[in-house]
Structure 1
Amino acid sequence: MSNTEPAPVEMECRDQAVAVEDPGRPGVEVLTARDVPLGGPRAMRVRRTLPQRRRSLIGAWCFVDHYGPGDVGRTGGMDVAPHPHTGLQTVSWLFTGEIEHRDSLGAHAMVRPGELNLMTGGHGICHSEVSTPGTATLHGVQLWVALPDAYRHTARDFRHHAPAPVDLGGATARVFLGSLAGETSPVATFSPLLGAEITLTPHARVTVDVDQRFEHGILVDTGAVTAAGTELSTTELGYLGTGAAQLELANLTGEPARVLLLGGPPFGEEIIMWWNFVARSHEEIVAFRDAWQRASDQFGHVAGYAGTPERLPAPELPNARIKPRRNP
């Protein structure tokens, strides 16, 4: 998904992990989302919890957009024209609906509920995303992963994986990246990561073993839950620092509750994010934008997209450098 804000803020992001004082009962920082339109007169809106002023990254996860459930007849659904990416991977994960993906690698795939689509931008890629005509309700997340410096100019790539459900005793998990509850995704990443959907039965309470080296984010999609003893409502993202060996999740309601669990070791590198680019300097951002505006081969071409405009133009660059935004 593109960041379609007309005046995106340039952000220098630094991950400074918080270690828990008591691994037996770690504290959770609650992050709230802000609404962002995807563009157009009937703009579909998304809820963005990363990046924000209070926190820029959780592990290598640097961007979290959560949307729906939305009536496509009212919002117009998703129709994002070809747009570029550098220095990152995009993770598409749906709960309801279907999205058609096309990219300049030549990949043409459908994003469906419970199936991972992971695209590597690396040195440069462009892609389009359009909800299919049969989709009445659209509901899912779009996530970005920052690539470590050693791999951020890697070749473009695309992977698909449909993880099998794992019984947690009171909950079901689908592990799309990394390892959890004895299940490991076959999809390789450039830094250690965890990505899993967990659905809890009514009033269920489960405890899962997690990597103590990781910081974690718990995004509540439906229902109300507690994570490590802290209550989280729908659309909130709970941040848990490094040092915890287990994570307890509890469903506070009489209906199923669903969360996304994201994790990874503190990223340890400063990055600059602007529009759809992840870079290391202001000068790189300027060069990436110029290459996209010139239709450079760095990003390639998406075949088969029939919407308008044919490609998204880059926003204007800010007139001055933005002060760094750092994790607390």
Structure 2
Amino acid sequence: MSNLETRPVEQVCAPGEPKAAVEILGPRDVPLGGPRAMTVRRTIPQRQRSLVGAWCFCDHYGPDDVTSSTGMQVPPHPHTGLQTVTWLFDGEILHRDSVGSEQVVRPGELNLMTAGWGISHSEESPAQHPPLLHGVQLWTVLPSSAKDTDPTFEHHGDLPVADVAGASVQVFMGSLHVDGQDLVSPARTWTPLVGAQVDLEPGTTLTLDVDADFEHGLLVDTGEVTLDSEPVPPHALGYAAPGRRTLTLRAGAAPVRAVLVGGTPFTEDVVMWWNFVGRTHDEIVAARAAWAQQVDDRPDGATGYAPGAREGRFGQVDGYASGPLRAPALPDVRLRPRSRS
């Protein structure tokens, strides 16, 4: 989805040093603006840690009762330099984009959009939709070698699952070794990473074999769970630094649902502002200017596509009921990546 904040803050993405065996990253509530506003719980990026592997953005929302509402309504908006990963626990979302894709995603299925040089898309609850909307929206940073690649879209409805005593693990990105099985997602990745949903019955202990070069984050949706003996509260993300060959999850008295993300530490400094990921201030300015040129501001305050938008950097999304989003104003200072030295 889009970052709909009207005053998005520059995010300088660089990994910090772990402060504990498992570092707890609490969520912050972020109201996404507009007449159909919704609130999400954001765990990354934040000042304490802005990346887990290549994962640079984690919004967790719901369960929201959308029985008597239109549900999610995110008008066409642009992206650069990233992949968007849509993963649902409940509900349905209809995706449309400027490369011609139109796809409903449901729980247990993956919608993956690679923005590359530039793409635009919309997301909405279908007209006839289930009563609840609940899930996560994740972004991964594309490395410099791929950040200007052609935009693409993938949908995967048949993802690998391992059911072990009291636990179920479904891998939607990358790969994971579970109970003697190698679970490998068919989705394309550009850096070594993993993304998986983990469900535990009450009292279950699950030990996962993991890549020692990876750092990991466990986002807890529901239930009481410990990560390597450290309690991770619901809606928080527990961070585990590289060096581990196993991760042990232990459920409390209630069922647990969580999302595990991880990857090799991302070695490039990047600047993330609004829906753009780049390496320099000038890249962000150029992307914003290209989108502004495609959006036609009307006297009544509405928006539409300017002439020639379909041939522009971000293309045009067909089928959404309203016009595209305007880009917010850039801050008055240069956006600068932080040096790792």
Whether TM-score is above 0.5 comes out as yes
Tell me if 1:45 matches 2:44. no
Report the counterpart of residue 117 of structure 2 in structure 1. 123
Report the counterpart of residue 326 of structure 2 in structure 1. 313
> CA deviation digits over 1:48-68, x for unaligned, max 9?
111001001000000000000
Tell me if 1:136 matches 2:131. yes
Question: Which residue of 27, 40, 56 maps to 1:62?
Answer: 56
Residues 270 and 337 of structure 2 are in contact (CA less than 8 Å); yes or no, is this contact kept in structure 1?
no
Shift in CA distance, 10/44, structure 1 to aligned 2, threshold 3 Å:
same
Residues 44 and 77 of structure 1 are in contact (CA less than 8 Å); yes or no, is this contact kept in structure 2?
no
Report the counterpart of residue 146 of structure 1 in structure 2. 141
Letter in 2 for 1:260: V
Report the counterpart of residue 301 of structure 1 in structure 2. 316
SS of 1:283's equivalent in the other structure is helix
Note the C-alpha offset of 1:42: 4.8
SS of 1:317's equivalent in the other structure is coil
The CA RMSD measured in Å over matched residues stands at: 1.7
In structure 2, C-alpha distance between the alignment counterparts of 1:8 and 1:143, rounded to whole Å:
17
Note the C-alpha offset of 1:252: 1.0
For CA contacts below 8 A with separation 6 or more, give which structure has more relative contact order: 1
Note the C-alpha offset of 1:73: 4.1
Residues 207 and 248 of structure 2 are in contact (CA less than 8 Å); yes or no, is this contact kept in structure 1?
yes
Structure 2 unaligned segments of length 5 or more: list them: 295-308
Note the C-alpha offset of 1:300: 0.4
> CA deviation digits over 1:267-298, x for unaligned, max 9?
00000000000000111111100000101511
SS of 2:285's equivalent in the other structure is helix
Structure 1 unaligned segments of length 5 or more: list them: 21-25
In structure 1, C-alpha distance between the alignment counterparts of 2:135 and 2:208, rounded to whole Å:
24
In structure 2, C-alpha distance between the alignment counterparts of 1:268 and 1:87, rounded to whole Å:
15
Report the counterpart of residue 240 of structure 1 in structure 2. 240
In structure 2, C-alpha distance between the alignment counterparts of 1:191 and 1:232, rounded to whole Å:
27
Note the C-alpha offset of 1:321: 3.0
In structure 2, C-alpha distance between the alignment counterparts of 1:214 and 1:321, rounded to whole Å:
32
Letter in 1 for 2:74: V
Note the C-alpha offset of 1:169: 2.3
Note the C-alpha offset of 1:11: 1.9
Report the counterpart of residue 188 of structure 2 in structure 1. 188
Residues 86 and 137 of structure 2 are in contact (CA less than 8 Å); yes or no, is this contact kept in structure 1?
yes
Residues 200 and 255 of structure 2 are in contact (CA less than 8 Å); yes or no, is this contact kept in structure 1?
yes
**Mean Cα deviation higher: 65-74 or 240-249:** 65-74
Residues 30 and 42 of structure 2 are in contact (CA less than 8 Å); yes or no, is this contact kept in structure 1?
yes
Residues 151 and 190 of structure 1 are in contact (CA less than 8 Å); yes or no, is this contact kept in structure 2?
yes
Note the C-alpha offset of 1:111: 1.2
**Mean Cα deviation higher: 153-162 or 211-220:** 153-162
SS of 1:149's equivalent in the other structure is coil
Report the counterpart of residue 174 of structure 1 in structure 2. 170
Residues 16 and 49 of structure 2 are in contact (CA less than 8 Å); yes or no, is this contact kept in structure 1?
no
> CA deviation digits over 1:277-326, x for unaligned, max 9?
000011111110000010151100001111x3x00000000011357579
Report the counterpart of residue 23 of structure 1 in structure 2. none
> CA deviation digits over 1:134-164, x for unaligned, max 9?
2311000000000000110000011111314
In structure 2, C-alpha distance between the alignment counterparts of 1:101 and 1:250, rounded to whole Å:
35
Residues 280 and 335 of structure 2 are in contact (CA less than 8 Å); yes or no, is this contact kept in structure 1?
no
